[in-house]
Chains A and B, each alone.
Chain A
């Protein structure tokens, strides 16, 4: 069974600090996504990425957020200056055809 992996599993940071969340999508997938889930709330779409550029982003994905595929395997989400309300589970997903696969998530806590 293919799987998406994410690191770290947990991250605690101080407000205003930068964080980078890392994902390794399934190797032959071409489309990559970030979602977040604030505790007790719905899973929310952040951004989709294809062919080395953002193809779609939500209102949540403001200038504090950026994504990158620095090499052939990693897909990262950077939050430039974290806010308290950025505390959430962040899920990476990937897809080319058939089912989409989500990673296990990174739990981010901003203090």
Chain B
């Protein structure tokens, strides 16, 4: 079965609004989670990561929330811009693995920013 999956394939938001992209995972052994952004014709681009000993981590305009109780991960993007339009993937790996080792990716959510 699928260990990591996304609830919504497409999310459309108005420019300037905040967006929330969700992800569910099923592997309790996962302890490292990453959000990637993939623009058309490019490879996945690292956005932000979080380890299971945290429940929130903030970056520039992005926040990742981790709820281990319900095995749920979300990516919040504040004040969306046209350049945020892309497919967003969550990915996980299990304890002891770092970097991009053995990541399990979700299917992706296509974020569309409307003017």
Contact = CB atoms under 8 A, between A and B. Distances in A.
Interface of A: 4, 31, 33, 35, 41-45, 48, 55-56, 58, 91, 93-97, 99-105
Contact of A45 (B46, B102, B107): B102
Contacts, number: 65
16 contacts: A31-B98, A31-B99, A33-B99, A33-B100, A42-B106, A43-B91, A48-B101, A56-B102, A93-B100, A95-B98, A97-B98, A99-B46, A102-B43, A102-B45, A103-B43, A104-B43
Contacts of A31: 98-101
A104 B42 contact: yes
B47 to A, nearest CB: 9
Contacts of B97: 56
Interface string B31-46: 0001010000111111
